[in-house]
Amino acid sequence: MLIQKIAITLAFSAALASSLVNSKTLVWEDNFDGDSIDTSVWTYDVGNSGWGNNELQNYTDNSDNAYIENGNLVIQALRGADGKFTSARLKSIGRMSYKYGTIEARIKLPDLESGLWPAFWQLGNDFGQAGWPACGELDILEAGMAEALNAGKVNSAVSGAFHWRHESDDYTGKADYGQSKNLIEDFQSSSNLTEDYHIFGMTWTPEKISMWVDDEANEIISINTDNPAFSEFQQKHFLILNLAVGGNFPQIYDNNEITAPMPAKMYVDYVRIYDNDDSSYSTELTLAADTAKRGNLGIIGEGSEITESLRLGTDTELYVWNNMEGLNNSDSLEFKVAEGDWFGMGVWMHYDLNLMNYQNGHLNFRMKSTGNQGFEIGLASTNGGEAWVALNPDGESFGLKWDGQWHLVSIPLSQFGVDFHTINQALMIRGDASTEVFVLSIDDVYFSESLDKRSPNGTFSLYSETIEANSSFELGTDGNLYIWEETLLEVSSSPYEGSESLSYTSAGAGWFGMSFTADNYYDLSAFDNGTATLNFALKSSSTTSFQIGMKSGSIGNVGQKWIDFTSGADPYGFVRDGQWHQISIPLSDFSDEVDMSNVIQLFELLGVNGEISHIEIDNIYFSGGDSNDNDTGDQDLIAQATVTASNEIQPISNAIDSDSSTRWESAHGGDSAWILLDLGEAESLKTLSIDWEHANASAYRVQGSNDAVTWATLVDFTGGNAGERTDEHTLGGSYRYVRLYFTERSTVYGYSIWELNLRGKKGKTQTSPPLQNCKAPNWQLMGTTTRAGKVLMASTMSA
């Protein structure tokens, strides 16, 4: 293919800009009128990687760097005591995107001299698949460029730019175009960009793009739809607002050479998108709810549980990365793994998959392995990176057994620290070199939707034996205590209360950390009231600094708040005298960063400045939570239910008659059977107990539904042994139908149940809003201890 010439036309007349659009209709806006940044639209980039431009700042999600003030979004760059900079970069990836129309933002810029680089720009939605520049980039506003700085006009000049990738056999590099514009001459005024607000806009049609400032044309580019070089500009884009410090644009690469006044504030009054009222095309707007999947979403296989399946070749591609030889098996994916080399594969998405309704749900699949090799299961997202969960024969396996037989595996998605709005790898498997050849098979891979979050109120006990609480965090049931990468060692304790405490010394890694991490998200909104507190007893005589934190959401370093404890300046009355001190931290000290409706790590300890000789923590609880006036207590839901079974030798009515001498007995000889409870209307489910006779299930699922078609998995049980036992389960969610789906017998007979007991609250509770997850770490169980009859799991975490 010959290289196609690209026609680029410049003009600076207001008439040329306005001729593109005669009228327009508002289709979307963010006026930043609320109390906080709208997380249904905006998320953050975080980190100090330089962002491909040698930028100096560390981007954060801290409220010091991005906040709402007087109807403005304020992005603030700060210089720290160490001379380094922090700032913020907000983006709408996976949450809002559009194609065509007119976009404008009313912005007031800070003093740019010297070293600041504010920008209002957008990238194509296929950024996670095509990369840059093939995704396309449109820079509506950039300021602070070196040319203007050298000319003494940095506060009165802006530029725009276009970036794309040529579609040519002969040239595959990027092409870009930009032009500075001196606003002093246009305005005929001595004012500059820092003294008032200005409207920065772009009109985007299928044929051309015009960028402008205060209605005066800056740049126009032809993007004829027949020219494949411009395909990047015929797709939807997401928005970005940021304030960078230093880097390639101002050509300043040393912190000491930044002379712009600090703090520096970029004010954004509004961002608006208009339809251009042109009969030949219209603005296409997509919000997160428009692309969010629902139901049991299948990735691989055609299991009966799956209600919608992604299509190989259209939605996904299967890639074997290394050392996984595909075997000819039409019923499942089957791979031969050779010894002596790592192995891995992934299911790659053709687009970012929106699983915002699943972050509190499960990744489910059937798997069998003929070897004894542990490995990891992973997910990846365009916005939140990748995360891995380990499955090990000697540790946490989530239902897998290494016996060559099929087993149901169900991993809480809260274990994966990714952005569920932008999943680009729907399944990944990787493992270290094996010492043996083995076959790994996988089938019926699907995501099940989020369960309702637990929402405690009043007093909520996290780790206490004596506090009188409305509810408690059950270790081993609601979540676990994780030691991060074996950085803390248990030592002898002298508890503040009860018989045990958390008593540690650091292990020599140069840092240390631990957390109480929930299996599924907690809604602590009842404690977001200005008076509630996080309380704990603390003891140490070490001078090593540490932090106490909480974490919300699924994206690493977003929704994280740390409070510093530094020797000589310890807060909340703590004294490093080796004695117990009761600490109470107002939860308002966390809630400026932590979304209290979506908490995953309820209590964290972190030290990054060396070793700590001893620290002891006890009696952790939340207090001051608002009461739930609608909480009428748990009730028996069995009495109102219509109960049926797939088959029976002895009737299913025997299992709900409150008579422990009668039982339901299924037909013999088959693994598949079920019991269905119709509650008549949706009820808030709390607990389920199953009193088994000797012939019980070694594997089963408890599921909920409101239409008896789409089922959410509430419990995945595996590993049961034959013999009388009682299974107790904590449930969640509001459902009309509850199904016990039995998949594996423990005996040669059928299934036999003495009594079922289902409890909950009458009436449907509010369903958890779909949001995003935290950097839920990759966890490997190391051992267990006990406290007040609860299982306490110690673990390693890859931070």
The Cα–Cα gap between 777 and 796 comes to: 9
- ∠ CA(216), CA(220), CA(222), 5° rounding? 155
What are the start-end ranges of the E strands in 109-173?
A: 116-124, 137-142, 157-165
Tell me which residue of 635, 604, 638 sits closest to 763, measured CA to CA: 635
Active site residue 137: yes
Tokens 């006044």 map to which residue? 261
Q: Which of 137, 376, 449, 604 is catalytic?
A: 137
- Number of other CB atoms surrounding residue 301 within 10 Å: 18
First CA to last CA distance, the chain:
48
Amino acid at 753: I
Active site residue 325: no
- Number of other CB atoms surrounding residue 329 within 10 Å: 12
DSSP string, 555-611: STTSSEEEEEE-TTS-STT---SSS-EEEEEETHHHHTTS-TTSEEEEEEEEE-SS-
The Cα–Cα gap between 647 and 636 comes to: 25
The Cα–Cα gap between 771 and 595 comes to: 10
The Cα–Cα gap between 362 and 305 comes to: 13
Cα 625 from chain centre:
26
The length of the chain, given as a count of residues: 799
Contact 746, 698 (CB under 8 A): yes
As beta bridge partners, residue 644 has 676
Contact 278, 103 (CB under 8 A): no
DSSP string, 623-682: E-PPP-TT----EE-STT-EEEES--SB-GGGGGSS-TT--EEPPSS-S-EEEEEEEEEE
**C-alpha torsion 690→691→697→703, nearest 10:** -10
Contact 761, 351 (CB under 8 A): no
Q: Hey, what are 579's tokens?
A: 């004695």
Q: Are strands 157-165 and 712-718 parallel, antiparallel or unpaired?
A: unpaired
**At 15, which helix (H) or strand (E)?**
helix 14-18
The Cα–Cα gap between 595 and 523 comes to: 9
Q: Distances from the Cα of 68 to the Cαs of 62, 93, 269, 290, 295, in angstroms? A: 12, 20, 10, 27, 36
Q: Which of 142, 232, 334, 485 is catalytic?
A: 142
The Cα–Cα gap between 77 and 266 comes to: 9
- Residues 6+ positions from 131 with CB-CB distance below 8 Å: none
Tell me which residue of 535, 517, 549 sits closest to 624, measured CA to CA: 535
Q: SS3 for 348?
A: strand
Q: Which residues are catalytic?
A: 137, 142
